[in-house]
């Protein structure tokens, strides 16, 4: 992985985002931002994730002399309700019951900040997700696995939670937590080009992300 530009930094503690970013074939380091995720609950979800993604990236950029920092934030939105990470097992069951058999949106905000001069580019990507008509027993078994506990909306499409999803319309990696299609587009504005021979963003079966077609 050769990259002759400024250092690339991922401002996230999410192992899922780290794994996804590696697919671009670019070397990077990880620095957790520690930025507050509190915001006005009345803010539009797309605006909210853009705000938090930029806040995370700028928090890390502020402690660096240079480098390109990537921040991200993801929200699961059912109607007008934003579903965060469940507080406990009972909360996870509540969220999964709310989502059962319904269509919702997963919106990820992505921010890229140049630590040298503060220049920033921010965007948001939305994917529609339809959940299956799973049973209460399936909910209980899934919650007992522990997987939902640190996931927005109480499910992970890339893990066991994939069995609860009936279908998606849009970027799959966006639902995982980092729309690589958008990350690559933003990085290009800072002169950074992915080095991978594979599509910069793809479905689990290897087909290019629908947003790239």
Mean pLDDT, the chain cut into blocks of 10 residues (213 residues total): 74 93 94 81 89 96 95 94 93 98 97 97 98 97 96 95 96 96 96 87 93 88
Beta carbons of 109 and 50 less than 8 angstroms apart: yes
Query: Would residue 15 count as lying in a domain?
Result: yes
pLDDT reported for residue 1: 43
pLDDT reported for residue 17: 95
CATH, residue 137 = 3.90.950.10
Query: Would residue 213 count as lying in a domain?
Result: no
Task: Give the catalytic positions in this structure.
Answer: 73
**What's the CA gap between 52 and 74, in Å, rounded?**
9
pLDDT reported for residue 4: 60
Query: Would residue 150 count as lying in a domain?
Result: yes
Query: Would residue 161 count as lying in a domain?
Result: yes
Q: Phi and psi (nearest 5°) for 180?
A: -60, -30
pLDDT reported for residue 116: 95
pLDDT reported for residue 191: 93
pLDDT reported for residue 74: 93
pLDDT reported for residue 42: 77
Query: Would residue 212 count as lying in a domain?
Result: no
Beta carbons of 77 and 128 less than 8 angstroms apart: no
Query: Would residue 24 count as lying in a domain?
Result: yes
Query: Would residue 44 count as lying in a domain?
Result: yes
**What's the CA gap between 164 and 180, in Å, rounded?**
23
Task: State how far the alpha carbon of 192 is from the alpha carbons of 2, 3, 59, 130, 207, in Å.
Answer: 11, 8, 21, 34, 23
Question: Can you give the residue range of the structural domain that contains 47?
Answer: 8-207
Total number of domains constituting the chain: 1
Query: Would residue 158 count as lying in a domain?
Result: yes
Q: Where is 53: in which H helix or E strand?
A: helix 45-61
Q: Is 0.85 topped by the overall pTM? A: yes
């Amino acid at each position: 992985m050769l990259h002759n530009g400024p250092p690339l930094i991922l401002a996230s503690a999410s192992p899922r985002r780290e794994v996804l970013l590696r697919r671009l074939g670019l070397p990077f380091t990880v620095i957790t931002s520690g930025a507050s995720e509190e915001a006005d609950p009345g803010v539009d979800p797309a605006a909210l994730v853009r705000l938090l993604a930029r806040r995370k990236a700028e928090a890390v950029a502020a402690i660096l002399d240079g480098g390109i920092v990537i921040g991200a934030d993801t929200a699961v939105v059912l109607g007008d309700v934003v579903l965060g990470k469940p507080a406990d097992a009972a909360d996870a069951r509540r969220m999964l019951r709310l989502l059962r058999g319904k269509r919702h949106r997963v919106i990820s905000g992505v921010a890229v900040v140049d630590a040298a001069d503060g220049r920033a580019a921010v965007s948001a990507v939305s994917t529609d997700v339809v959940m299956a008509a799973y049973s209460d027993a399936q909910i209980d078994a899934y919650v007992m696995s522990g997987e939902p506990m640190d996931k927005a909306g109480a499910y992970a499409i890339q893990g066991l939670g994939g069995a609860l999803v009936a279908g998606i319309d849009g970027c799959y990696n966006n639902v995982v937590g980092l729309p690589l299609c958008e990350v690559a587009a933003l990085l290009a504005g800072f002169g950074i080009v992915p080095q991978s021979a594979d599509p910069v963003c793809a479905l689990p079966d290897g087909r290019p992300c629908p947003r790239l077609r």
